[in-house]
Amino acid sequence: MTKYATYKEAGVDIDAGDEMVRQIQSHVAGTYGPRVMPTVNGFAGLFRLDYDEKLFKKNYREPVLVACTDGVGSKVQLAAQVRRYDTVGIDLVAMSVNDMLVNGAEPLFFLDYLGVHKLTPAETVDMVKGVAAGCKMADCALLGGETAEMPDTYAEGDFDMAGFAVGVVERKRIINGTNVRPGDVILGLGSSGLHSNGYTLVRNICFKKLRLKLTDRIEELDGAMLADVLLEPTRIYVPSIVRLLAQYKVKQVVHAMAHITGGGLVGNIPRVLPKHCNAVIRKGSWPVLKVFKFLQRAGPVEEAEMYRVFNMGIGYVLVVAEDFADSIAAKLARYGENVYRIGTIASGMRKVILK
C-alpha cells in the first residue's frame, strides 16, 4: 500500500494554524475602530482613511501616509527561553508606531509577521495577544498578519517577528526638524527600561560573562528577576504625543522629535537636526535607570559606549520652542509621562554634545 507524504509529517500543521486563527479573532477584533471595514474573503484588510458618519466624522485636507517597519531583535530569544510571548508583541508595535510619531503622524493600522519552528496555538496566540495589546495602546487597528511555520528555517523553540505600521499626518503638520533653532529646549520622556535595543550586548554581559540565569534575582535591581527586567515592554508614546500635538493646531511649537532606539541619544537626535545645529545634553538631568548602571558596572562598559547603544532612561525626545517648554512639559506630565528638561539646541554641525 502506497504511503502518501503529508504536510504535517513534513513539519507544518495546517489544522494548528486554523485553530490559532480561531483563537486570535477576538483579540484582533478588539483593536478595530469605525474605519475598519468588514471583508468577505480575508485575504487583505480594508481601512477607510476618511469616514462620514456624524458621530465619528474625521476627514483630512491633505493626508500624507507614513509607513514604518521594524522587529524586536534578539529580545525574542529571551522570550523564547522563558516561554513568555505576550510582552514582545507590545515591543513590536512600539518600535514602529513610536518611529512614525516622530513625523507627527497618528498610527492607523498595523500588520504583523510571525515566523516559528512549530505552530503551537497557545504560544502563538500569546504573541498575537501582545501585538493586539500594543495596538490598543497606540489606538491603531491590527488589520492583518501572517504566521509562517518553518521547521527547516527556525530551530526548535525559536521564533521571530516583524511589524508594519501605516499612519497619517496632515501635510502642513509634518514635523521634520526644519524649524529647529538655537535656544530651543530639549525635553526627554522616560523609558520603561531597555526597550528593544542593545540586547546582543546585554546577553553577552549577563549570560556569557556573568553566567546568570533569567530566573536569577539581582540585588542591584532591587531583587527583581532578571527576566522581568529584560522583558519589560517598550513604552508606547503615541497617546501622549498625539494628544499634545492636537493642542497646537495653528502654532508649530514642537520643532522636532526623535525615538531613542539603537544608537541612543547621540545617534538618534542628530537625525532630526538641521545642519547648523547641535543638541547639548546635560547628563544628570534625568535619573538613569538601575538596569543601565548594572550593565555598565558588570560589563564593564565605557560611558560613551553606553550612550551609543542604550537609551539610558530616555525613550523619546522633543525639541520645542523655549517659550512653550514649561507648558508642554506640564501637559505631558498630566498625560502620564515622566518629563525631563535634558538640554538645549545650540549652533553647531548636527551633533550631540554630552556635558
**How high is the pLDDT of residue 55?**
56
Can you tell me the distance from the alpha carbon of 345 to that of 265, in angstroms, rounded to the nearest whole number?
14
Burial of 345 (0-12, 13-18, 19+ CB in 10 A): buried
- Give the list of residues 6+ apart from residue 9 with CB closer than 8 angstroms, or none: none
**How high is the pLDDT of residue 281?**
97
CATH topology for 7-173 is 60s Ribosomal Protein L30; Chain: A; (3.30.1330)
What is the dotted CATH code of the domain comprising 185-354? 3.90.650.10
Can you tell me the distance from the alpha carbon of 138 to that of 144, in angstroms, rounded to the nearest whole number?
16
Can you tell me the distance from the alpha carbon of 77 to that of 60, in angstroms, rounded to the nearest whole number?
42
Dihedral of the CA atoms 109, 239, 292, 188 (nearest 10)?
Answer: 120
Dihedral of the CA atoms 266, 270, 276, 282 (nearest 10)?
Answer: -40
- Stated pTM of the model: 0.92
Can you tell me the distance from the alpha carbon of 2 to that of 315, in angstroms, rounded to the nearest whole number?
61
- Collapsing DSSP to helix, strand or coil, 7 comes out as helix
**How high is the pLDDT of residue 121?**
83
**How high is the pLDDT of residue 13?**
66
Residue with cell 500500500: 1
Cβ(255)–Cβ(181) under 8 Å? yes
In the chain, DSSP finds a helix count (H) and a strand count (E) of: 12, 14
Nearest CA-CA partner of 294 in 188, 191, 223: 223
Q: What is the pLDDT along the chain (355 residues), one digit of tens a residue?
A: 677 666 666 666 666 666 766 766 767 777 888 788 887 667 788 888 876 666 555 678 899 999 999 999 999 999 999 999 999 999 999 999 999 999 999 999 999 999 999 888 888 889 999 999 999 999 999 998 899 999 989 899 899 999 999 999 999 999 999 999 999 999 999 999 999 999 999 999 999 999 999 999 999 999 999 999 999 999 999 999 999 999 998 889 999 999 999 999 999 999 999 999 999 999 999 999 999 999 999 999 999 999 999 999 999 999 999 999 999 999 999 999 999 999 999 999 999 999 9
Q: Phi and psi for 149 in degrees, rounded to 5? A: -95, 115
- Give the list of residues 6+ apart from residue 28 with CB closer than 8 angstroms, or none: 128, 132, 142
Instruction: Locate the domains of the chain by residue range.
Output: 7-173, 185-354
**How high is the pLDDT of residue 288?**
96
- Give the list of residues 6+ apart from residue 45 with CB closer than 8 angstroms, or none: 36, 39, 109, 111, 141, 143, 144
Q: Phi and psi for 35 in degrees, rounded to 5? A: -90, -10
**How high is the pLDDT of residue 211?**
96
